[in-house]
Amino acid sequence: MIRKWVSLFALDVLVCTALLSAVFGGPVTVFADDSGTLRGRFLYEGSPPKQGKLNVNKDQDVCGAFDLRNEQLVVAEDGSMRDVIIYARKLKGPKSSEDDEPVVLDNKDCRFAPHVVAVRPGQTLVVKNSDPVAHNTDIKFSSNSAVNEGLPPSATKELKVAKAERKPVSVSCSIHPWMRGYLVVQDTPYIAITKEDGTFEIKGLPVGKEVEFQVAHPKWKTVKFDVDGKPTKRGRFKLTVASGENDMGDLAIKPK
């Protein structure tokens, strides 16, 4: 009886998947209903540093119109940290329709937007120039072939990133030396970059599985913070994922 019920259930799943594929015109990934979501907020321990004004010494008629600040470390007055990267190590997870969507890195207002962006191996990276001046996008890959592309105004360039990168990859513009951004390439859908308020959210995690998470920030080689009162090593911590919400609360990163 149980075997018969399982067979019927499997058949229903196959039929539903086929119907969804027909509706959406392509493969659809079916996720388990029972999954976990990891949430939290990263804070800077101590007095928030100030963002220094950048030396805008090229194309001042355009770039000088923006109040450009150093984005290497962006901390709000309440200590909330932007651009902290968190992802599941050694957990590739299923492919989804999002993997077919291109990731956009824009040269806008004489800065890279967003400052830190994540892309999965095999995904298309679209480098765009929304400014009325020319830019140059220099990506210092380690595991992939280096990229150094000139971009006239309104131009775009599509790139395929084939392999994962061990650490955040620096992106710069040789025409405008103050421009700096970072590309995170990890083979997992379980990844987040903190917003202006320091918060992050990773959905769809497998329930009951112990997952090791890596936390990183472009400013430092490793980050230091405590989880449940214990210091992490190399910015890593483990968590057995529970169904529903897994709230880490506030996590304070110690400045070097």
What is the reported pLDDT for 166?
Answer: 94
What is the reported pLDDT for 93?
Answer: 81
Alpha carbon 216 to its chain's center: 11
pLDDT < 70 positions in the chain: 1-33, 97
56, 110 contact by CB (below 8 A)? yes
Report d(CA 174, CA 137) in Å as an integer: 8
What is the reported pLDDT for 6?
Answer: 34
CA quadruple 56, 58, 64, 68: dihedral positive or negative?
negative
pTM comes to: 0.84
Tokens matching residue 215: 């936390």
253, 225 contact by CB (below 8 A)? yes
- Topology of the domain covering 32-93+189-256: Immunoglobulin-like (2.60.40)
What is the reported pLDDT for 33?
Answer: 61
Segment 13-35, tens digit of pLDDT: 444 444 444 544 444 444 456 89
Tokens matching residue 63: 């770039």
- Topology of the domain covering 97-187: Immunoglobulin-like (2.60.40)
Report d(CA 25, CA 28) in Å as an integer: 9
Segment 219-237, tens digit of pLDDT: 999 999 999 999 999 999 9
Report d(CA 167, CA 85) in Å as an integer: 10
